[in-house]
Structure 1
Amino acid sequence: MGIFGRMFGGSSTNENLATLVNEGAFLVDVRSPGEFADGNVKGSVNIPLDQVQNQLAKFKEKENIVVFCRSGNRSSQAKSILEQNGFTNVTNGGTWQDVNAVFNK
């Protein structure tokens, strides 16, 4: 099944991601500032994984949150941190390229 099958559950992932992005989800890139500067998703916010716990206020009042990174690993950790803090509207978008691809369809 692989990591993506477990993370997303099924093949409708891209459709779900596209819907969230098109509906104005809060797009959070949890890579380092240097990685973010090398390329990022238009409209996304850079909150590195090690800052997520300290930046919880930025996630409040958001209808949907999509977290992503380079491989999907850090965004999986960010999703867990947010869920442990009561956020139930978090989607792991996987890689920043996956999320970026939604804009280029």
Structure 2
Amino acid sequence: MDFVMILLVASYALLAYFLTVRFMPVKGLQTINAEQFQEKASKRSGVLVVDVREPHEYKNGHIPSAINIPLSQLNSRVKEISPKNEVLLYCRTGIRSKQAGRILRRHGYTNLSHLRGGIAAWKGKLKSR
């Protein structure tokens, strides 16, 4: 096997690993549709809705009860999220919220859900700043 073939095989293996990690379900993270998300988010206590998009995305429109903790800051701001609450995560399409769920699971959070399809799937009202 020459060097090019080894590099090609390694590239395919890396791509397969990346796609598997990116799109596989996160153990302990419930994926819910917009109706289920809205029902859970409407509870007055015991639920925290977290928008993991960047601040400029959040300002353009977010679910009214949501707080903004961008995925890029989640590890350093994880203490702002009470582990006693049910945590509902969302982003634009559902990919970053899934990654946020993975991070929170590593920090010991167990009651996690994320919005399938992200805010693009949301049918409820949005609040803009």
**The TM-score by the shorter chain falls in which range?**
0.7 to 0.9
Aligned-CA RMSD value: 2.6
Match of residue 3 from structure 1: none
Secondary structure of the 2:93 match is coil
- Counterpart of 1:85 in structure 2 is 107
In structure 2, the residue matched to 1:19 is: 39
**Matched-pair identity in %:** 27
Aligned to 2:73: 51
* 8 A contact 2:97–2:114 mirrored in 1: yes
Question: Larger Rg: 1 or 2?
Answer: 2
* Residues 41/15 of structure 1: CA separation in 2 closer, same or farther (3 Å cut): closer
Cα offsets for 1:13-33 (capped at 9, x unmatched): 445323321224201000010
Structure 1 segments, 4+ long, off by >6 Å, are none
TM-score, normalization: structure 1?
Answer: 0.76
- Does 1:96 find its partner at 2:119? yes
Q: Which runs of 5+ in 2 are unaligned?
A: 1-24
Answer yes or no: is 1:34 the counterpart of 2:17. Answer: no
Relative to structure 1, the CA distance from residue 38 to residue 15 in structure 2 (aligned partners, 3 Å threshold; closer, same or farther) is: closer
Q: TM-score, normalised by structure 2?
A: 0.64
CA distance in 1, matches of 2:51, 2:125: 15
CA contact (8 A) 1:26 1:62 kept: no
Ranges in structure 1 where 5+ consecutive residues have no aligned partner: 1-5
Q: Name the SS of the counterpart of 1:71 in structure 2.
A: coil
Pairs aligned (count):
97
